[in-house]
Amino acid sequence: MKKAFLFYGLMVFLPLLVNGSVLPLNANSFFTSPNLENTPGLGSEVIQVDVSGKLALCSHSEKGHIILTVSGGVAPYTYKWNTLETTKDRTNLYAGTYTVDITDAEGTVHTERIVVQPPFPLILDPIEVENASCGSGANGKAKVSVKIGRGEPYTIKWSNGITDQWEVDQLQPGTYSVTVGDKYNCDVTVSFEVKSESEGITVSEDIQNETCTETGNGSINLSVSGGQAPYTYSWSNGSTQPNLSNLKAGSYTVIVKDQTGCSYTASYEVTSPVSFSLSENVENPSCLGNADGKIDVAVVGGSAPFTYQWNNGQGGPSLYGLEAGVYSVLVSDASGCTVSKEFNLTNNSQLNLKLVEKQDVSCEGDDSGKIFLEVSGASGEVEVLWSDGVKGLLTRENLAPGAYSVTATEIGGCEVSNSFEIKAAGSMNARIESMLDVDCDQGSITGVAWVSIQGGVEPYSIEWNTGDTDLREVQFFQSKTLQVKISDATGCSVVSEAKVDYPSFSTQEGRLNFQFRKLEITNEPEVKVDEQVLFESEIPEEFIAWEWHFGDGQKSTDKDPVHVFEKAGAFEVTLTAYDLYGCSSVEKNTVQVTQPEEMVVIPNAFSPNGDGLNDTFIPKMKAVTNFSMEVFNTWGEKMYATTSLESKGWDGTYKGQALPAGNYLYKITYTSATGENLSLTGGITLIR
């Protein structure tokens, strides 16, 4: 460390004599120059000056001062400084050179030159800086030390708030300063920069706010660059993905780290538009059944215009003419945000008519009907009026069949009405139904009749005109009129009758016949494979449906079907016919199908000139399957292909363009009648 030195001296000036000394002293000393002049007056003594004082403690302060002790000469003395002051002593001086002329009473002048030395400065060593590992990392370090000083203790103040430490850490990249002061309150401030060893992480964000309050459709999408990929993400809501979706309004914080451990922390705010609510004015219906209630809603907040959708299909902020019930509205604002509310309208008056009991007329001709009512919910006296003019009664007896209505009115004017029907005794009825039970094997029919009963009071008494009693089902074996009388437990009765038919019937076996023949007339009567065979039936009129089975898995419901057998063999053909009662008759016959002789004829030339003769090339083949044909030019290029013997064949063109006359090659493959797979190749001449 450099130390500051202060010099002082006492100088006596004689003509041609300079006497002085320079001595190192403490911090309160100063330096005086030996270049002094003394101009004595006549008979005067030499003026002697003793200089003492104190230099400035700090290089930038004005705390130095000079004290003069004057002797010799003739007092009093006057003083004139080079700075124009006239006092003996000087205070609050900066470092520098000062001269003073001291004059005694006889005019003797003594000039004293005094140098106030500056203190040795407080000097710091260069700041030792350890840069941060990454742009956002807080792991930089800095260390300060005193190179030249004048004594401890030292005070240390760092710009990040740390004090009294020679070394600080956890510094992010940036500019910092440190101030070191000594015991004389002199201080030195030095600035320094902590840099980043690598490019910091940079994050840009795309924030989508909630479209409506509590919809949870906000999102934050991050774009990260800088640092060293890959990055990891730690969100305050627990997510580890770079992007967040389905967010509600709120604050979200993320820490992004790169592969080196450098991190970036940021907070984002997802907002939502101003929410809105509904206020309402509701009036309930005045009376039970009245439609005079209303609902008015008003929107508080939100963004106009607003649309209203009620559960009864209406729109607008108000509903009128409402009965008691539950009503709900969905209101949407200009941003598409919605709020809903439900209203339960009840009647101001709960007047109600309740049916306690109703009894219909038990038997036809009786006036035994009854209606018992009960009034509830009334706030006062109630008047009752019936449709037949009867007043004040809630119980009605001895009523004839018919419709009755009643109105109850309370003092406030609310009223409620109800209607009832007293049914006549005819409400008990009976109906006879019948069916035929056919035994096809025995050729017999049994008629069955039964009675269906509605109404009345069980148990029933049943009497048939067949003599049967207490039976709901009876048998019959001839056409006749059946009659039944039903009596219930109250003694009421009803009579029902019905005419039933009993047809004649006999077995249907052996009453069918059919023949078959080839549809194409040839000299060969035998049925060949793939030939059409006509089956002609003889079916009596009483049969209403029929079905053929040809013995090869195929069937038909045509009366005279045409069938083709695809394989050779003996096939049992069955014709089954059904009559009105579901009985059937069956006829069978065997058809012998033989394999036709195989035929393959391939032309060796054709002339596609449109004259209708040999215009196309196609082989003539019989009794073969799995046919395919390809045609090539002499270069081996395919000109045509087909898999059908029914096709028109090749017309001498390729892709719609006519080919030149010349020789072409064909390849034909097929399966013979014996099941052998064969292939034929050869030449065909195109003639033009």
DSSP string, 461-487: EEEETTS-BS-SEEEESS-EEEEEEEE
* Alpha-carbon span 160 to 332, nearest angstrom: 53
DSSP class per residue in 568-598 = -EEEEEEEEEEETTS-EEEEEEEEEEEPPPP
Cα–Cα nearest to 562, from 548, 578, 544: 548
What confidence score (pLDDT) does residue 55 get?
Answer: 62
Find the mean pLDDT for residues 163-171.
91
Per-residue pLDDT of 420-434, as tens digits, reads 998 876 667 889 999
- pLDDT confidence of residue 57: 64
Contacts of residue 35, Cβ cutoff 8 Å, sequence gap at least 6: 18, 113
Average pLDDT over residues 524-542: 86
DSSP sequence for 487-554: E-TTS-EEEEEEEE--------TT--EEEEEESS--S--SEETT-EEEEEEE--TTEEEEEEE-SSS-
Looking at residue 505, its amino acid is F
β-strands 638-642, 146-148: how paired? unpaired
**Percent of the chain as helix, strand, coil, to the nearest 5:** 0, 55, 45
Confidence of residue 371 (pLDDT cuts 50, 70, 90): very high
Quickly count: other Cβ atoms within 10 Å of residue 230's Cβ: 9
Tokens encoding 312? 């009864």
Q: Is the pLDDT of residue 14 over 70?
A: no
- Could you give the CA distance from residue 264 to residue 257 in angstroms, rounded to a whole number? 6
Query: 339 near 279, Cβ under 8 Å?
Result: no
| 590 burial via Cβ count (<10 Å: 0-12, 13-18, 19+) | exposed
Q: What is the mean pLDDT of residues 308-320?
A: 92
- What is the rounded CA–CA span in Å between residue 181 and residue 156? 7
Whether the pLDDT of residue 24 is over 50: the answer is no
* Structure tokens that stand for 39 in this block: 């101009």
Mean per-residue pLDDT of the chain: 84
Please give the pLDDT value at position 408: 87
What average pLDDT does this structure show over 674-688? Answer: 92
pLDDT above 70 covers a percentage of the chain that reads 89
Peptide bond into 15 cis (omega under 30): no
| Range 495-523 average pLDDT | 79
How many CB atoms lie under 10 A from the CB of residue 19?
Answer: 12
Burial (0-12, 13-18, 19+ Cβ within 10 Å), 79: middle
Report residue 638's pLDDT band, with 50, 70 and 90 as the boundaries. very high
Tokens at residue 203, please? 């994050």
Which band of pLDDT confidence, cut at 50, 70 and 90, is reported for residue 61?
low
Report the length, in residues, of the chain: 688
161-189: burial string, b at 16+ Cβ within 10 Å, e else: ebeeeeebeebbbeebebbbbbeeebbbe
Instruction: Specify whether the CB–CB gap between 685 and 660 falls below 8 A.
Output: no
What's the pLDDT tens digit per position in 464-491?
999 999 999 999 989 999 999 988 887 7
pLDDT of residue 54: 63
Q: Tell whether the model's pLDDT for residue 294 goes beyond 60.
A: yes
Closest CA to 370 of 395, 403, 404: 395
Within 10 angstroms of residue 642's Cβ, the number of other Cβ atoms is: 16
- How confident is residue 37, by pLDDT bands cut at 50, 70 and 90? low
What pLDDT sits at residue 17? 23
Domains located in the chain, CATH noted: 6-116 (2.60.40), 123-194 (2.60.40), 202-270 (2.60.40.1080), 276-345 (2.60.40.1080), 352-425 (2.60.40.10), 428-500 (2.60.40), 513-594 (2.60.40.10), 599-686 (2.60.40)
Cβ–Cβ under 8 Å, residues 466 and 474: yes
Amino acid (one-letter) located at 156: I
CB 498 within 8 A of CB 481: yes
354/528 Cα distance (integer angstroms) = 86
Average pLDDT of span 440-464: 87
Strands 638-642 and 677-686: unpaired
| 393 close to 384: Cβ distance less than 8 angstroms | yes
CA–CA separation, 451 and 460 (whole Å): 12
Please report the pLDDT score of residue 352 as a whole number.
84
